A and B are shown apart, each in its own frame.
Chain A
């Protein structure tokens, strides 16, 4: 594997886009979520719900509909299911003012249990049946539509958060709910919208993951991708551009790790797999160190 070789990039770039797209989608969902003032560590679970739903819908509709139509319905279903389950988190944390971390953890538990439970009932095995072909690649280099969906969402979220009154209000609810409420914003409603929008995007994120990277949903499919998205939000410093770039960086590290055969290089493969998490820890610690130093707190 030589990074100065053109063939390396011909494999690397499409794979990187394929692996990064679900991370970008989920991380931007989480960003909207956090901007409204509600942290959701249940992104991992919501991705699982999305991936399971998409796989189940696609494998059922595939024989009857055209590939494009079936995939579209699968994406839509995943978004709806993501919204539905994120409502649990919204209700617990916004209406009942419960602990956000406990509720998010609950979503993760529920996802890993319920998806496999349903798979056992519907498909009589601990996974969904495999579908014939997932999303079809667009060009000869197999760039999946998921990359374009991610790009569209990136632009859309940026426009919504930074250029619309809605975005201003949403951010106000996260930064200073009292002030927002004083200015006549319905804080609870905005936060509900934030959490549910996050759920929709995490659901789509999970769906694109299963429809591009594999042929069925299994219990170990998501395997931390939701937490990588969570890391990208922190490493991207809560801006749309930063979060997207962080997602791409993390996607690249994962792609490189997957491409390098185990124990061949000087740097072990595990290092690249752990890289997103290591980079995030370092960046969070450094930023908070600088913040405290700037404020002269210690």
Chain B
């Protein structure tokens, strides 16, 4: 039987609960139906909204060019036949019983549970007025209200969220300073050479970027007045955005017995050590055959695409033979479209393949041992599509190490 049509009859599964109603949760429901599962799907989400797309929250939604309706992930003609429990938090998971207990006091028991609770933005202890994180549509609405022309914004963190917010804020006429702890903005992601290009791009739009600084505290009593650096230096601000990373939303799994030290630890297909319990999306740390350990990938495309692998694993009990594409991410900032594809372990060699640093149409390729492993482009959409294609082909030829543990296939339906 092919894994594409391993439906309810083959797996013995009658019900699946998906905890988390964002990109990975929605993709899980779609994959279940696409692969022939016709049992009950219960979708639990802590936000009141049906699944929506988060990347625009720091871009066109923040500047007011997109509405919440534009962000909906569900298509008009989508018939997922899902039981929605929204605006409700999951408090705990009993793995042997596959029982999810909710903040409302009710609980949901099912044959399988897919954990898709995502991640939460890191915060400071003092989140006074004017201090923001950006994760939800409500966060974006609150931040937009503070981004008035002439306001002084300080962004703590020079990662994707921080830089995209900086870009959107400049477009709204706000004075922006980015304070990053790394050598250059995004240098931990791209390496110094490419990151220096990112900095020039931000500065070309009037963003002040400072590197190698640590924001220690926000200042102000009722409302923020600035931030203090680890050196003691104070910087005035009317608005502060914290873009200082995220942590997996796994607090509710503390008593579950699952390994959640670095996200929910899974095999290569998203299955945890507990039968019938899988994890996908930002909260999941899948075994990575190249790194040789569980690794959390927090990229949009992985959250969208990996659930179909987990669902195939769940429905067939076998490990689907489908290679994962190299990670892909994009970032729109300061009028430039940055795209990245591949996998970096550090120490790769970089070469310019097209365009140039000065012309804003740079395409660089990272090589390890002479083989291309990743590419990054600035306004190089067409070439990047070609590089993604060739990187996928080369990734498929990488054989995993012989020591990869393969989870036991399910010999009988869950709960049997």
* Bind each other: no
Residues of A with Cβ closer than 8 Å to B? none
Residues of B with Cβ closer than 8 Å to A? none
